[in-house]
Amino acid sequence: MKRRATHAGSWYLANGTDLNFQLTEFLGNVPAASVEHGSFPVSRARIIIAPHAGYSYSGPTAAWAYKAWDVSNLERVFLLGPSHHVYLKACALSQCTEYETPLGDIPIDTETIEKLYKAGDFQKMSRSTDEDEHSLEMHLPYIYKILSESEKGMRPLVPIMVGSLSPSSEREFGRILAPFLADPKNGFVISSDFCHWGTRFGFTNYVEDVECSRVRPLSGSKFVAPDIPIYKSIEVMDYKGMDVANGGSHDEWTTYLARTNNTICGRHPIGVLIAGTEYLRSQGVELDDEARKPTAGTAAADMVENGTITGEDALKYRFGKIYWIQYKQSSHCLKLSDSSVSYASGFAKA
């Protein structure tokens, strides 16, 4: 059974030649290297986070994540995205055998999906539910292009629709996916936009400090524009969220969301990723280069444990640290009637 490219021709181009040209242009506009991370793709950056809005809005931002993505050793790709149309209290797996894109079809790893389903906590989504959701589909052309143009060619996909999970459920699904996260043969694409701001989204929160400890809604007929523009407040709120995600603590992620109510639509897929990588770190999973967690019992491990090494020096030892490399807003909000959606791209070495 094939999942049709139901959003082609509206959210993105339906003509394969035109779409390939557009994606090539988006990727070409991303620098070939960065001062901090070196050449793209970044070695071992097999986990990426990227937005899922229409390509005219988020396509250029998503290109940064896909330009950084290292697919050289991958055998399959897990794609996690939020559910916008169906209320789920768990995660749902596709029942399709392939996903259509205007560039070509992507095979589904039905064997891995069956293994996950037998884990007992996953649901199965109908074809109509699968096709209604855009958070997964908007990544398919990019995934197809990157994989098909790589040395190994196309590899199968494991699509997972992530529901409105409780913190404990995020940790449980993170634990289930942890062995797959730890395996260097698996790639992960996490689908998320960031802040949706404006009355049409029912969210007009304004933060008054960089730690987002003071949050108040903007409202009322006598609205007066604050000294710091609204779009700057949104930026501060999003950057704080990215910083918390980068820190890798699931408790801090859920606390940040509860404090700000930031309308990050992929909060639960990101939460599952953070919970999964945090679980792996608790099990002593190690990396083999500058991002390595020190071997237990060594002086470096002891210094991280007792707090002698802190801040960025300690973060570099964390499995799955997220590096954010691009951030944009669809527009700059200045008044209460304005609205915008934020887009961010990042990657994690694992």
Tokens of 301: 């491990």
CA 102 to chain centre: 23
The pLDDT value recorded for residue 318 is 60
How far apart, in Å, do the first and last CA atoms of the chain sit? 33
CA 228-229-231 angle, to 5 degrees, is 130
Rg (CA), the chain: 20
- Range 165-187 average pLDDT: 95
Among the ranges 14-18, 207-211, 222-226, which has the highest mean pLDDT value?
Answer: 14-18
Phi and psi at residue 249, to the nearest 5°: -100, 120
Which segments within 91-218 are labelled E, that is strand? 91-93, 98-99, 106-107, 122-124, 157-162, 186-191, 196-197, 205-207, 215-217
Distance CA 160, CA 305 (A): 35
In contact, 113 and 82? CB cutoff 8 Å: no
Whether residue 164 is contained in a domain is answered as: yes
Residue corresponding to tokens 């209290």: 89
What's the number of CA atoms in the CB half-sphere (13 Å) around residue 30? 24
Whether residue 326 is contained in a domain is answered as: yes
**Residue 278 structural domain:** 2-196+261-283+320-348
Instruction: Give the number of other CB atoms < 10 A from CB of residue 174.
Output: 22
Whether residue 271 is contained in a domain is answered as: yes
Q: What percent of the chain has pLDDT over 90?
A: 78
Report how many domains make up the chain: 1
Handedness of CA 156, 272, 65, 264 (dihedral sign): positive
The pLDDT value recorded for residue 289 is 43
Whether residue 315 is contained in a domain is answered as: no
Closest-CA residue to 319 (of 158, 170, 178, 191): 178
Residues 89-126 pLDDT 10s? 899 999 999 999 999 999 999 999 999 999 878 999 99
Whether residue 300 is contained in a domain is answered as: no
Whether residue 214 is contained in a domain is answered as: no
CA distances from residue 203 to 200, 225, 229, 263 in whole angstroms, order as listed? 8, 16, 16, 7
Burial profile 135-161: b = 16 or more Cβ within 10 angstroms, e = fewer:
bbbbbbbbbbbbbbebeeeebbbbbbb
User: What CATH number has the domain bearing residue 145?
Assistant: 3.40.830.10
Distance CA 130, CA 118 (A): 20
Under the banding of pLDDT at 50, 70 and 90, the label for residue 306 is low
Under the banding of pLDDT at 50, 70 and 90, the label for residue 308 is low
The chain-wide mean pLDDT, for the chain, equals 90
Q: What percent of the chain has pLDDT over 70?
A: 90
The pLDDT value recorded for residue 292 is 45
Residues 134-171 pLDDT 10s? 999 999 999 999 999 999 999 999 999 999 999 999 99
Phi and psi at residue 321, to the nearest 5°: -60, 135
Whether residue 89 is contained in a domain is answered as: yes
* SS3 (DSSP) at 29: coil
Distance CA 333, CA 327 (A): 16
- Range 300-308 average pLDDT: 52
The pLDDT value recorded for residue 221 is 64
Whether residue 245 is contained in a domain is answered as: no
Residues β-bridged to residue 206: 216
In contact, 344 and 270? CB cutoff 8 Å: no
- Look at residue 315 and tell me whether its pLDDT is greater than 70: no
Q: How would you class 320 by CB atoms within 10 Å of its CB: exposed for 0-12, middle for 13-18, buried for 19 or more?
A: buried
Which residues does 266 contact at the CB level (< 8 Å), separation at least 6?
49, 52, 81, 82, 135, 162, 190, 191, 192, 193
